[in-house]
Structure 1
Amino acid sequence: MDQTVAVWVVLAAALVAANLPYFSERLLLVGPRQQPKAVWWRLLELVLLAVLTFGLGTLLETRIGQRHAQGWEFYASAACLFITLGFPGFVWRYLRRGGRRGQD
């Protein structure tokens, strides 16, 4: 896999993963359906999906070539990017549909 393709794969996976907690009412995306799901469950799912996405990036980086050690700055900026990528789902869940929560 080419390095450019790997970057786009990780970005696409991050975009999907960052929005999944906002579009599903299931606990951890596979558990029982909650109506409505608590905000802290969505935050927990967001953190777990971010860790999985970072793991995918690390795996692809290892397969392409030498894995580079990253400092806290990298992880802080990657977490901010992940949260930013989840903004469309947040808007859809909490701002756009605010008055119609019971009508899923």
Structure 2
Amino acid sequence: MYKLIKALNTAVILTIISTLPSVALSQSINLKGQLGGSGILGNDPAEGRSSFEAQLVYIPTISFYHPLNDERLLDLEWAYRLNRTYSGEDLLASAEKPYRGWIRYS
């Protein structure tokens, strides 16, 4: 239940971040992400475990850009990292944390 609440919390925050500025400031918002994975095939797995382990990583990113006038701008970026490690169909490890964030006024 805690994981579901945490996932919903993250979705609500991303929705607010992505919609509120566009309504209020009429600027550019960019949603993107990176997906990665790796795998290991072993010849001596633990009993009851698969000989294959896989790791999946997803980093959703939201970027915001707003020109204030001809010489000034405001931009920001925020990214979140989601990691999952599997042995066969079993989830071995799971991690979620902020990955990168910055705000720039120039």
Normalized per residue, which structure has more helix? 1
Length-normalised TM-score, structure 1: 0.33
Normalized per residue, which structure has more strand? 2
Relative contact order: is structure 1 or structure 2 higher (C-alpha 8 Å, sep ≥ 6)? 1
